[in-house]
């Protein structure tokens, strides 16, 4: 199960089930979500900093949000109070980006029950569910990760070379906004454009106006329109591996396996030897 509704989360929390709720608020405009967390969060949630907990900026050549080591992630999970067998629910308040990044990492590390709060904090608030300001310090968790190497984890990843090959021989989805894909603007990375042969599928196209993921049938149609039907090799990338995780999560809802290129455009474009394509996708 990939998603959990606000109603289902409320039932889980009331049932006595061992649930750990993680608040992963992050956006391109405001990467530090700690102040937002302190101003109001799901009671009992623990704040997760995407920039420091879910990235390791000391790793060179892997883009703007390099994945941390498995040891570092395990230490963070224990700090958040996660034990083996816990149900982990992740949420955010911006386009499911932070929660999808956390979902992908925890699933890739071998956690079996990780769910994204569908609609994020906005959906929780819209139903009148409680929001608190008390910041709790959970007791240390005892989880032991099954996979400590994301390159050989439970979910498939792509190297830059893999991404180039997939764009030629399979389907490589670019999760960025269309204008960034076409190379008309590039507000973050030094080079504009996309990986040659990639197909644009903005992560926001997979969400409804309420921020919830589209129904599975609609998601399958969106993927099929880009040539992804579950029977061919396919993967996704974005600017730095964050919003592409939204596409991977949506694909799982649709029953489709997608590999993730964690370094994404920020890694690809940093190497001058890599070719760059601009304009709309071509057949």
Going from N- to C-terminal start, the domains of the chain cover 3-149, 160-268
Q: Catalytic amino acids?
A: 238
Query: What does the CA dihedral 127, 128, 133, 135 come to, rounded to 10 degrees?
Result: -50
pTM here is 0.97
pLDDT at 18: 95
For residue 278, the model assigns a pLDDT of 97
Cα distance between residue 202 and residue 180, in whole Å: 10
Instruction: Mention every residue, 6+ apart, whose C-beta is less than 8 A from residue 137.
Output: none
Arch. (CATH architecture) of 160-268: 3-Layer(aba) Sandwich (3.40)
- CATH number of the domain at 3-149, please? 3.40.250.10
Q: How many CA atoms lie within 13 A of 6 on its CB side?
A: 18
pLDDT string in tens for the chain (283-residue length): 999 999 999 999 999 899 999 999 999 999 999 999 999 999 999 999 999 999 999 999 999 999 999 999 999 999 999 999 999 999 999 999 999 999 999 999 999 999 999 999 999 999 999 999 999 899 999 999 999 999 989 999 999 999 999 999 999 999 999 999 999 999 999 999 999 999 999 999 999 999 999 999 999 999 999 999 999 999 999 999 999 999 999 999 999 999 999 999 999 999 999 999 999 976 5
pLDDT of residue 283: 52
Distance of CA 60 to the CA centre of its chain: 21
Do the two domains 3-149 and 160-268 of this chain adopt the same fold?
yes
Can you tell me the distance from the alpha carbon of 252 to that of 255, in angstroms, rounded to the nearest whole number? 5
User: How far apart are alpha carbons 215 and 92 in whole angstroms?
Assistant: 20
The whole-number pLDDT of residue 158 equals 98
User: Residue 160 and residue 271: Cα distance in Å, rounded?
Assistant: 10
């Amino acid at each position: 199960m990939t998603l959990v509704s606000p109603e289902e989360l409320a039932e889980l929390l009331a049932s006595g089930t061992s649930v750990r709720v993680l608040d992963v608020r992050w956006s391109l405009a405001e990467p530090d979500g700690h102040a937002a967390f302190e101003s109001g969060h799901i009671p009992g949630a623990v704040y997760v900093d995407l920039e420091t907990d879910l990235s390791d900026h000391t790793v060179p050549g892997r883009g703007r949000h390099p994945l941390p080591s498995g040891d570092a992630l395990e230490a963070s999970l224990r700090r958040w109070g996660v034990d083996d067998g816990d149900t982990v629910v992740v949420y955010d308040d911006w386009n499911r980006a932070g929660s999808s990044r956390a979902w992908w990492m925890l699933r890739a590390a071998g956690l079996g029950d990780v769910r994204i709060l569908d609609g994020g904090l906005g959906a929780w608030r819209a139903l009148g569910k409680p929001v608190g300001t008390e910041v709790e310090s959970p007791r240390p968790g005892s989880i032991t990760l099954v996979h400590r190497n994301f390159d050989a984890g439970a979910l498939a990843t792509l190297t830059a070379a893999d991404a180039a090959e997939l764009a030629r021989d399979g389907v490589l989805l670019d999760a960025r906004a269309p204008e960034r894909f076409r190379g008309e603007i590039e507000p973050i990375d030094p080079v504009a454009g996309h990986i040659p042969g990639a197909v644009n599928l903005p992560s926001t196209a997979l969400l409804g106006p309420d921020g919830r993921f589209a129904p599975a049938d609609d998601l399958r149609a969106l993927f099929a329109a880009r040539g992804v039907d579950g029977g061919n090799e396919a993967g996704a990338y974005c600017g730095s591996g964050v919003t592409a995780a939204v596409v991977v999560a949506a694909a799982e809802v649709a029953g489709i396996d997608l590999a993730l290129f964690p370094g994404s455009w920020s890694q690809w474009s940093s190497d001058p030897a890599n070719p760059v394509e601009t304009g709309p996708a071509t057949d």
